[in-house]
Amino acid sequence: MNNSKTNIGISAGLIGAALYLTLLFGGYTPFLFLAAYVFLKEDNAWLKKIAVKAFTLSICLSLLAEAVGLIPDAISLVDRLFSIFKGSFSIPFISSLISFVTSAIYFIKTIVFIVLGLQAVKMLDIPIPFADKIAESAVTAADNAVAAKKEEKTVKAEEAEENSVNLTK
């Protein structure tokens, strides 16, 4: 187990677990504060990947549940259209089925986030290819942006120094 510490002295694994569990139990606001801390103050690439992966999984599972939840709304819309012409349209078991599927998605999300959180405490990760790919590309892009900004500051400092030398001549 890697005992990597963050800048505030807490193990990186504990922060990784907090990222998963705040999404599960605390919502997006506390997660975003914690993720902002990770991206602004920490250099640990694993921790940054965990932040992006947790957010990606949460958004994807929430979107899936919402998309499934649209099915009864679509059926209701068709029924209202039919009612204009004195007809009706319904699929009696669909509400129960959709409720079951939505509950299953949220149950799976809870289990996945608890397992990932427990693995994160040990600084381990369970591969989830699409989320890992997104996390890798996001962290690489963020690191490249930081490196470019540092390079820009270095060039400006060198130019300023060169200009001050030229002024003294």
Whether 63 is covered by a domain: the verdict is yes
Q: What is the residue range of 87's domain?
A: 12-168
Long-range Cβ contacts of 30-37 (<8 Å, 24+ apart): 31/55, 31/58
pLDDT at 149: 84
Q: Which residue has the tokens 């998309």?
A: 67
Number of CB atoms found within 10 A of residue 128's CB: 16
For the chain, the residue count is 169
CA neighbor of 107 nearest in space, from 135, 115, 53: 115
Whether 6 is covered by a domain: the verdict is no
Separation between Cα atoms, residue 103 and residue 65, nearest integer Å: 8
Whether 2 is covered by a domain: the verdict is no
CA neighbor of 24 nearest in space, from 108, 85, 93, 124: 108
Whether 7 is covered by a domain: the verdict is no
pLDDT at 167: 65
Q: Work out the angle between the directed axes of helices 94-121 and 45-84 (0-180°, nearest 10).
A: 170
pLDDT at 8: 92
Task: Return averaged pLDDT per consecutive 10 residues of the chain, 169 residues in all.
Answer: 82 96 93 95 94 96 94 91 88 88 95 97 94 94 86 80 68
CA neighbor of 41 nearest in space, from 67, 84, 10, 77: 10
Number of domains in the chain: 1
pLDDT at 169: 60
Structure token pair of residue 18: 């907090």
pLDDT at 156: 80
Whether 99 is covered by a domain: the verdict is yes
Whether 1 is covered by a domain: the verdict is no
Whether 5 is covered by a domain: the verdict is no
